[in-house]
Every structure is written in C-alpha cells, then in structure tokens.
Chain A
C-alpha cells in the first residue's frame, strides 16, 4: 500500500471543518485508492426467486430452473446486516497530547473512528460508540438506522481528553453489550499503567467469546522518539507530579524502549487472536483505514 501524494496530512485535514465533512473526504479518498469496493456484505443468504425483468444481471439467472420451466427466473440474496460493532475511543489525558505542529491524538482517533463509522454503516453494520476517560461511557449503542451516523459524529466532536481510566473496563463493558458475535475496534495510545496486563486479559476474554478485536494504536512521532525534542522536564499528563529532566536528542535508547513496549504488547494481543495496527498522527488517515481493512476479518 502506497500513500497517494495528494492525501492531506492530518493537521491540514483537521482544518477542513466538522467531522462529517472530514469523514466524507477521508472515505472518498480511501475508496478511490482501492481496486475493488471494500463494501462486501458480511454474508449472503439465498432468499428466493423472482421473475426476470429487463436489465437484470444475466449472471443471476437460475439456468437450472429455466431448463425445468422454460421461464427466466433470477436468484435473490439477502445480505446479513446484523453485524454489530463497537468503536471504543480512548479519551484519557494522554490522548490530549499533540506534538508541536501536529494534531492531538484524540482528534486523530476521532477522525479515524468517524471514517470507520461511515464505512461500516455504509455496509449495513450497526455501529456504536464507547469512550473511556474519567470513566467508561457508552455514548451510543450500535444501530444502523438512518441518522445514526450523525449521532455518532456529534458524540465524537464532544469528546475532551481527561482522566486515566483503563481500556480493559471499556472492552469488557462493550463486549457485555454485544448480544452475539460482533466487532470491537479500540482506538487508543495503549499506554496502560500496568504495562497492558489487564488490557490483554480483556482481549483474551473477548476473543474467547468469538468477538473480533482490532486495536488501532495512535501515537505521535515525538512520543515514539522518532522526532527530536529540546531539553525539558518531561511529565506524563496522567501523572503530572513526576517530571523527568532530559533532552530527547541525547537519549537514543528512548525510541527503542518505546518500540519494545509496543512490540511486546502487540505480540501479546496477537497471541490471543486480536489484531494490532500501529498508527502515527503524522500519516494520512486514509492509510490508517487501509491498514484497518487489511486487518479486518469477516466473521
């Protein structure tokens, strides 16, 4: 997958306007770069025959029935529109971080979530939204009715970063609200205070139930140690009392330590059958969607 040169960087995309416009722009760009439409129903059930009408696709003509009846009949299929999905967006204090000249992680995650909601509702899935910041909140239960996308976008626009709740509780609450097998997409920086143990355990529970879990990790290049930063006393927004004086240019092992943490977490998640996709806030959102597409599984 290559990045089209005319895709907007996230910081410019954010200036387009509201999430509705941004999501539409992103989805258009995402779809335009694909060789075939990604919109494929979750499953096709045979629903019966009807008489052939002028213009019907000849591929759907049931020739066996024609041989028996000397009349043209076409097969009709019913798409299974009953996939229920939760988008879980991390709204803790660390997601409010934006590197100099960049877009805040929460904003980036909201744009990705808006585009995913747009796409999944377009395929007939029911999509809900849950967030965790000060506490876990089920913002909108999965629905597929007309107008539900607007409700999701409004809820995403209203998100503000704060608090230090863990992702595990949000995963458990969302999974409990899925009556049958569904899909959970987690958008978070995955900076768990326990090193990710509770998160991995929740992922395991979800996978045991048969739900699909995709973790989209959102991080900025500066946090990953890929961009130099001047000397400062650095502090975690979720633990502001403790500051570490350092100059990130001088600390070459910093990037390696960050990478090691995420690599280990990814291994643990994948070992339970969850998918892990690393997103960077400086890469176009369309690329994030393509990586989501590659990781998606049909149930």
Chain B
C-alpha cells in the first residue's frame, strides 16, 4: 500500500484558507445578465447598472471550482508531497549492545522478552549514537506504523545518564524497555554459577528437542522417564501423561513444573498460532480459582495457567512442547524461557531489574508507555510528487484563464446588446 505524506503540511491549511477568497468574490460579484427572448423588447428601457447583491449561490460555479482547484493544487505542491509505502501494525526493535552481541543466548533472550518477531539491531559506538539513529532505524527496518524500543545491554547507568536526557526526550518520546544481559567480562569474573538444572519427563525416544533447547538456554538438562527421577531439578518439563501427585510434590519442593500440551490432552503448535504473555494480573480471560492466566493465544484463548504450589509453581500450557520444538525451532527457545518465568510475581522487565529510580525514570522517558508513531519521528524519502501537483495547478490556471476570458466577452456583449461570438 502506498500512502501520500506531506513534508510541510501547513501549506495545505494555507491553501484551504486561500480558497475562501474566490468563494466570497463569487458570492458578491455582479452577475452578468442572461439573454432572454421577449418580442416586446423594443419597449424596454435599458438599465444602466446591474445591482450588486450578496447571493446564496455563487455565480459561474465552474469558474469558481477551477479557481479553488488551482489554489488547492498549488498549496499541495508547496507542501512537499511524497508517496511512501504504507505502514501498519506495531513492531519491536531491540538495540543489542555489540559488546555482548556474540552471546547467542542474548538474542534468544531478546526475542523471548520482546517477541519472536522483534528486530534485533546490534549497536556500537555508545548509547547516545544508538539513540540518535534509532528513529531512522525504526523507519527503515520495519513496515509498522508504531514501534516499541528495547535495550538489550548490561545496564551501566554511569555511561547512560550524563548528557543524554535531552537527546532521550527528543529521539524517542516514549518509554523504552530494558532486557538486562550480563556483561561477558562480568560473567567471566564471577564464579561459574551453576546453570539451572532442568529435567524433561518424557517417554522413550522423546524429549530430545526440548532438552537441547534447554541446554541452549544454559540449563543443565536431562531427559527422564518418571517424575521421581526429576527430583532436585529447578525446572521440570513434563511431556508425558503422569501422576499429578508426583508433580505436586516436586512443585512444593521448589521446582517450577511446566506441563506441555500432551500432558493436558490439548495440543496446539506454536508455529500455527501466536502466543502473548500476560502479567499476573491477567486481563479479560477467566481463570479457574487459584490459577492465573499467564499466556494467551492471539485469538484470545488461554495458552497457559500458573498456580503457586508450595515453594514452586505449576504451569499448565496447551502448547504441544514436543511438536513445537520441531515445528518452530526459532521461537521455541524463547517460549521455553518465558513460560517458566510466568510463575514470577510480575513480568514487567523494568520493574524486575535492580535499577535505581534515576535509571527507571530514564527508561520511562517521562511519556506514556506507548509505541511511537514512526512517521512522527523520521522523514522517509519516498517518491516526491510535488511537480505533478504543480503541473495540475498550471492546467487549472490555463482553464481558468480561458473561461474568464469567455465570460468577459459575454459580459461585454450583454452590456452592448450584441450577440456573443
């Protein structure tokens, strides 16, 4: 879809106001008398001047329309019109700190938080430069008309805050998100903390794809045949149909138990539907008592329910995890990273972080947390069409001149009493 945009839209307003002048003139100008037959015309005394009156209907409507069209087209030409590709929808852009861009888990984490369709753009040269380039990147790298922006970086407020507040307000007039990532140096310096242990409860020959995804996320994952063998794991993913009692006792011990679609008897594949993670408040979808809806399909159907159980929680999901792992390999790790997180009290990435008030305020931007209208930020080159409006305006001017001349000849003929040529 192609849409017109105007670089200087105030000219359009000027054009509309300018059309008032010919409209008023056509309402008050004297009308030339129309010729009419009258066999006793020889007895009529000629009257010297036609009266000027304000009429309700403008005279010579075609001439008035030509004049208005000329003014409007001229104003449109001055307004620098361009044709640009149409935009629709909302997109997510994640600015990825180049210092940690080599960490593949960071990108996975980015898509897990910002959505599988998020555009991840590595940046280097500092936050200020990234902030200045962000509007143009948002226009060029997406076809959406509104964009949410995220930072994927290790928050170093000492480098962010000084001198960037004004730029921050000008470049991106909306809240931005932060996906925290540990700086590799910090990670290297810290003692190797054990990755979360995970267990996949599945039948023989199944669960390998899920296990591989967990390993990619940094978990120490193993495949087991029974819930009892999963004791001690922080995350238990159940693909098989198993005894609820065993799962409940695992959760009470502190594990997060994630039941895949097969276990529930319902199976939907991620590749066919979208999934939206909601926070613990869970909006318009009714949840059974004691459980919160933490994920929904794009058609509004419940995708996952979470309920606290002792020290841990149980997440029921209608996603066929085993099939999704093979059908949607790109999205699967992100999904797997998000679902267990649904047990957390809040999924607001900003509120979760160890940020001080200044950092939060910087991210919040002092504006409403809404996606930004891309066209309000950047100027897309597009195809300039001002010259065509100018040509059309000149054509209107020629037609107007021709009609005015003909009208003047007719008026002179009526005044002198001769037939018009």
Interface residues of A (CB under 8 A from B): 94, 97, 189, 191, 219, 222-225, 229, 231-238, 240-248, 250-251, 253-254, 257-258, 261
**Mind listing 19 A-B residue pairs with CB under 8 Å?**
A97-B37, A191-B42, A225-B40, A232-B33, A233-B33, A233-B414, A234-B36, A234-B37, A235-B35, A235-B419, A236-B37, A236-B42, A240-B419, A242-B417, A242-B418, A246-B45, A253-B45, A254-B44, A258-B43
Interface residues in B376-421 (C-beta closer than 8 Å to A)? 413-415, 417-419
- Asked if residues B419 and A254 are in contact (CB atoms below 8 Å), the reply is no
- Asked if residues B44 and A244 are in contact (CB atoms below 8 Å), the reply is yes
Q: Given the known A-B contacts A241-B419, A243-B414, A243-B417, are A233 and B36 also in contact in the complex, defined by CB atoms under 8 Å?
A: yes
For B414, list chain A residues within 8 Å (CB): 233, 243, 245
B351 contacts the other chain (CB 8 A):
no
C-alpha gap A272/B335 in the complex (Å): 120
For A235, list chain B residues within 8 Å (CB): 35-38, 41, 417, 419
Distance in Å from the Cβ of A299 to the closest Cβ of chain B? Answer: 34
Q: What is the interface residue range for chain B against chain A?
A: 20 to 34
- Asked if residues A223 and B44 are in contact (CB atoms below 8 Å), the reply is no
Known: A233-B36, A243-B41, A251-B45. 12 other contacts (CB 8 A): A97-B38, A232-B33, A232-B34, A232-B35, A233-B414, A233-B417, A234-B37, A237-B37, A243-B419, A244-B417, A245-B414, A246-B45
For A238, list chain B residues within 8 Å (CB): 39
- Asked if residues A254 and B37 are in contact (CB atoms below 8 Å), the reply is no
Q: Given the known A-B contacts A223-B39, A232-B36, are A251 and B44 also in contact in the complex, defined by CB atoms under 8 Å?
A: yes
For B34, list chain A residues within 8 Å (CB): 232-233
C-alpha gap A33/B2 in the complex (Å): 81
B190 contacts the other chain (CB 8 A):
no
Residue on B nearest A99 in the bound complex, by CB: B38
For B39, list chain A residues within 8 Å (CB): 94, 97, 189, 191, 223, 236-238
Distance in Å from the Cβ of B252 to the closest Cβ of chain A? Answer: 99
Interface readout for B255-293 with A: 1 if CB under 8 Å, 0 if not?
000000000000000000000000000000000000000
- Asked if residues B36 and A254 are in contact (CB atoms below 8 Å), the reply is no
For A229, list chain B residues within 8 Å (CB): 36, 38
For B41, list chain A residues within 8 Å (CB): 234-236, 242-244
C-alpha gap A242/B51 in the complex (Å): 22
- Asked if residues A254 and B417 are in contact (CB atoms below 8 Å), the reply is no
Residue on A nearest B413 in the bound complex, by CB: A243
- Asked if residues A244 and B46 are in contact (CB atoms below 8 Å), the reply is yes
Query: In the complex, which of the residues B40, B44, B47, B415 contacts A191, with contact meaning CB atoms closer than 8 Å?
Result: B40
Q: Given the known A-B contacts A94-B39, A233-B414, are A248 and B44 also in contact in the complex, defined by CB atoms under 8 Å?
A: yes
C-alpha gap A222/B43 in the complex (Å): 12
C-alpha gap A295/B37 in the complex (Å): 32
For A257, list chain B residues within 8 Å (CB): 43
C-alpha gap A152/B46 in the complex (Å): 42
Interface residues in B47-97 (C-beta closer than 8 Å to A)? 47, 50-51
For B35, list chain A residues within 8 Å (CB): 232-235, 243
Shortest 3 CB-CB distances between A and B: which pairs?
A94-B39, A232-B36, A257-B43
Interface residues of B (CB under 8 A from A): 33-47, 50-51, 413-415, 417-419
Distance in Å from the Cβ of A234 to the closest Cβ of chain B? Answer: 4
- Asked if residues B50 and A231 are in contact (CB atoms below 8 Å), the reply is yes
C-alpha gap A241/B42 in the complex (Å): 12
- Asked if residues B38 and A245 are in contact (CB atoms below 8 Å), the reply is no
Query: In the complex, which of the residues B38, B51, B418 contacts A234, with contact meaning CB atoms closer than 8 Å?
Result: B38
For B36, list chain A residues within 8 Å (CB): 229, 232-235
For A189, list chain B residues within 8 Å (CB): 39
For A223, list chain B residues within 8 Å (CB): 38-40
C-alpha gap A258/B150 in the complex (Å): 93
C-alpha gap A238/B51 in the complex (Å): 29
Residue on A nearest B31 in the bound complex, by CB: A231
- Asked if residues A245 and B40 are in contact (CB atoms below 8 Å), the reply is no
Q: Given the known A-B contacts A97-B39, A236-B38, A246-B47, are A241 and B33 also in contact in the complex, defined by CB atoms under 8 Å?
A: no
C-alpha gap A236/B35 in the complex (Å): 10
C-alpha gap A261/B414 in the complex (Å): 26
C-alpha gap A237/B419 in the complex (Å): 12
For A240, list chain B residues within 8 Å (CB): 37, 419
C-alpha gap A189/B38 in the complex (Å): 12
Distance in Å from the Cβ of A254 to the closest Cβ of chain B? Answer: 6
For A234, list chain B residues within 8 Å (CB): 35-38, 41, 44
Residue on A nearest B47 in the bound complex, by CB: A246
Residue on B nearest A92 in the bound complex, by CB: B39
Residue on B nearest A224 in the bound complex, by CB: B40
Query: In the complex, which of the residues A219, A245, A253, A258 contacts B46, with contact meaning CB atoms closer than 8 Å?
Result: A245
Distance in Å from the Cβ of B417 to the closest Cβ of chain A? Answer: 5
For B40, list chain A residues within 8 Å (CB): 191, 219, 223-225, 236, 258
Query: In the complex, which of the residues B43, B50, B415, B418 contacts A254, with contact meaning CB atoms closer than 8 Å?
Result: B43
For B46, list chain A residues within 8 Å (CB): 244-246
Distance in Å from the Cβ of B237 to the closest Cβ of chain A? Answer: 92
Query: In the complex, which of the residues A222, A231, A253 contacts B38, with contact meaning CB atoms closer than 8 Å?
Result: A222
For B413, list chain A residues within 8 Å (CB): 243
Candidate in B36, B39, B42 with the most chain A CB atoms within 10 angstroms? B39
For B417, list chain A residues within 8 Å (CB): 233, 235, 241-245
For A225, list chain B residues within 8 Å (CB): 40, 43
Distance in Å from the Cβ of A262 to the closest Cβ of chain B? Answer: 10
C-alpha gap A131/B74 in the complex (Å): 62
For B43, list chain A residues within 8 Å (CB): 225, 254, 257-258, 261
Query: In the complex, which of the residues A236, A254, A258 contacts B45, with contact meaning CB atoms closer than 8 Å?
Result: A254
For B44, list chain A residues within 8 Å (CB): 234, 244, 246, 248, 251, 254
